[in-house]
Chains A and B, each alone.
Chain A
């Protein structure tokens, strides 16, 4: 029951709710636990509630770190 994926907010609704898009599937999710979410944001959803907002810059940084894993530090000139 811990499983969840990031969802894009596509519309803000009444009562602190919003509509999210999960790979084409629309769902209503509560925003009562997060602040300042706007349309277009990605949120981490769990049991019907958004728990946090996803930071696109941090996501890009993490992906860049994965890519760097391919570079062997032992073979770079700095390490030599």
Chain B
């Protein structure tokens, strides 16, 4: 496929690996965080880690929207669906298996009679409301800056059409605030616990917000940011660019994904989002706790389509499973294999924590693609005795 295969070419990957090894200073360590779940997936799936020198370490950041969704928000949707039989909750597929309170998930609540359905896009959610005028269709909207503009579009359409049976539980969160919260976290600030030398900036999020919002981090925290595309060669080239910046003592925003990202981003989408949503004072992120001004809520002119207002929903925070290390993993303090439940009690078939649910989650990515790498190879010669 054009614009895909060229960016996965094995020979070029080997060339880039040689260039990275040549440029990385053997006298020091490098630790870079890839923020975006798509990058976590690509790094695990294509074994990018195996192509990097031992002194270059990648930390999986909190960029998987399902992984950072707190349990209380899912409880909210399940509670609504169980309490009101007229309600149909619809959401993206990844949300359905996230463990919620009381041993439930949206999928398990469905088995108990809640009408919960999967949709592929926000437009499908709107169509579901148009097709079920006698029901209340509630779109459980999640995601970063990439899924927010589509939600804005359907809210606007619902208002234009005067569609009274459609509403949205808005869980949209913002990338730059999450990056700040990591940089402000005590583990990162107290030098030595989590060394962080730079960020691989998100691909699709950046198509919408542009490269400009990262300029603040580069300046304020003296951390280089390189925005990268989703293919393995993109990620490798971005790592190489980060190593160069570190070596030269620079902290700038560079754009490896220039084929799709500009400095300004998608202005049409930004205007639409600004018209429909406003900042929440604070929002709880799984693993990062409450993060100020890190999420969006629906603006008052659209209040009729805001399910939190319409059904008078209140958020009840829920502590995570004690043994689950998702929080520390999202902050780069722990690795999936540090968790006692990893691969035994907790697997993608039966996830205990959210990092195991989506294939972009750090635990699931490591389980699916990387878990055998850490197991030392044992070659056993069988005695053929007769």
Contacts and interface: CB of A to CB of B under 8 A. Distances in A.
B4 A51 contact: no
A32 to B, nearest CB: 6
B15 A66 contact: yes
Nearest to A42: B3
B153 A2 contact: no
B250 interface: no
B351 interface: no
Contacts of A72: 22
Interface range on chain A (Cβ under 8 Å from partner) = 35 or more
Interface range on chain B (Cβ under 8 Å from partner) = 35 or more
B260 A52 contact: yes
Q: Which interface residue of B143, B204, B240 has the most chain A CB atoms within 10 A?
A: B204
A51 B269 contact: yes
A23 B1 contact: yes
A2 B269 contact: no
Contacts of B259: 54-56, 58-59, 62
28 contacts: A1-B37, A1-B66, A1-B94, A1-B143, A1-B147, A2-B202, A3-B359, A8-B2, A30-B153, A33-B268, A33-B272, A42-B2, A44-B260, A47-B143, A49-B150, A51-B149, A52-B207, A56-B259, A58-B259, A61-B258, A62-B258, A63-B6, A65-B237, A69-B12, A69-B19, A69-B237, A70-B19, A72-B22
Interface of B: 1-4, 6-7, 12, 15-16, 18-19, 22, 36-38, 41, 63-66, 92-94, 120-124, 143-144, 146-147, 149-150, 153, 202-204, 207-208, 229-230, 233-234, 237, 240, 256, 258-261, 266, 268-269, 272, 358-360
Interface of A: 1-6, 8, 22-23, 30, 32-35, 42, 44, 46-49, 51-56, 58-59, 61-63, 65-67, 69-70, 72, 74
